[in-house]
Amino acid sequence: DAKTTQPTSMDCAEGRAANLPCNHSTISGNEYVYWYRQIHSQGPQYIIHGLKNNETNEMASLIITEDRKSSTLILPHATLRDTAVYYCIVRVASSGATNKLIFGTGTLLAVQP
Amino acid sequence: NAGVTQTPKFQVLKTGQSMTLQCAQDMNHEYMSWYRQDPGMGLRLIHYSVGAGITDQGEVPNGYNVSRSTTEDFPLRLLSAAPSQTSVYFCASSYLRGTEAFFGQGTRLTVV
């Protein structure tokens, strides 16, 4: 699985959009970009994933560059409850052993009141 | 719908003791896995299973055993606990063809 690079930490004002970057310059053509988050002391929570098109769901939007070497997770209106560590993970489409998720150290997003 | 349930939530062991961390899911997921998380680090994969009777090693399998006799349960065994195994342990499950993994709330283990 391709490695990812994320900033260690970021701040965001409550109510503003939070934009979390991720670099994955060695991503392969069959690898997806996944985002999970982990609120303090809880188990990780799935947010969104994508291959090459931008994706949006009720939690967030995922913007993937045309060359697929980087992506940005956007939380449109951050709240204090969005304070968490956000993990960007790259892996092939789900298929048996490749279901495994390899976590890096993620980005600690601190939403400020 | 309980999702992924881990027991116990907290445990203190003495060095050399054995114990089993329980993980159960009620979503009929084929894939289950165990992770450990140490302070300031991301989750590291210990063992995983793609179905009943099938298990394999992850990144950090030493000191841990697993088995998968049913689809629902995936216990993690520590045969002889060591202080280096002090950590928070997370169990996860997903469909083999699924995209979303579901995690339990974790077991905080301290080995003294």
**pLDDT, average across residues A6-32:** 95
Distance from C-alpha of A2 to C-alpha of A15, rounded to nearest angstrom: 33
Tokens found for residue B93: 């499950």
- At residue B95, the pLDDT reads 87
Shortest CA gap B85–chain A (Å): 18
Q: Residues B38-69: pLDDT tens digits?
A: 987 889 999 999 999 999 999 999 999 999 99
B45 vs A94, A95, A100: nearest CB: A100
- At residue A1, the pLDDT reads 62
| Residue closest to B85 by CA, chosen among B12, B6, B2, B7 | B12
Tokens found for residue A77: 């209106």
Average pLDDT score over chain A: 91
Shortest CA gap A16–chain B (Å): 27
